[in-house]
Amino acid sequence: MLENQGLFHVTWGDGFEWIWGQGGRNFMLSGDTAFYAKQREIMAKAIYRDKWHAEVKAFYEYITLRLLHEKSYKLAGVNEVDVTREQVELRIIW
């Protein structure tokens, strides 16, 4: 399938265009031609540099700690933070 672009096409180009307008149609994941392949190659070089996994991990650690300090509160002498997602509440005590 991946080698037969004439028969099997990317299906979400229309959706990207609907969400982002004409620019979405030209997004690197919106098509199969050499134009889109070149975009993917350029983005891969820009994003996936040496030690990119460590950089992403450091970013999430930084943001997580910052949010914990910013959003936590003391309750009975203990640091707590309430995290709510999709109607499920999680209370973290740290």
> Within this chain, do residues 89 and 56 fall inside the same structural domain, yes or no?
yes
Residue 7 located in a structural domain = no
> Within this chain, do residues 43 and 58 fall inside the same structural domain, yes or no?
no
Residue 8 located in a structural domain = no
Residue 84 located in a structural domain = yes
In the three-class reduction of DSSP (H, G, I as helix; E, B as strand; rest coil), residue 67 is classed as: helix
Question: What pLDDT digit, counting tens, does each position of 59-70 carry?
Answer: 999 998 998 888
pLDDT given for residue 89 in this prediction: 58
Q: What percent of the chain has pLDDT over 90?
A: 10
Question: What pLDDT digit, counting tens, does each position of 43-61 carry?
Answer: 888 888 888 889 999 999 9
**How many structural domains compose the chain?**
2
H or E stretch at 23: helix 22-25
Question: What pLDDT digit, counting tens, does each position of 24-49 carry?
Answer: 777 877 777 888 888 888 888 888 88
Q: Is the model's pTM score more than 0.75?
A: no
Q: Is 30 exposed, middle or buried (0-12, 13-18, 19+ CB in 10 A)?
A: buried
Residue 18 located in a structural domain = yes
> Within this chain, do residues 59 and 89 fall inside the same structural domain, yes or no?
yes
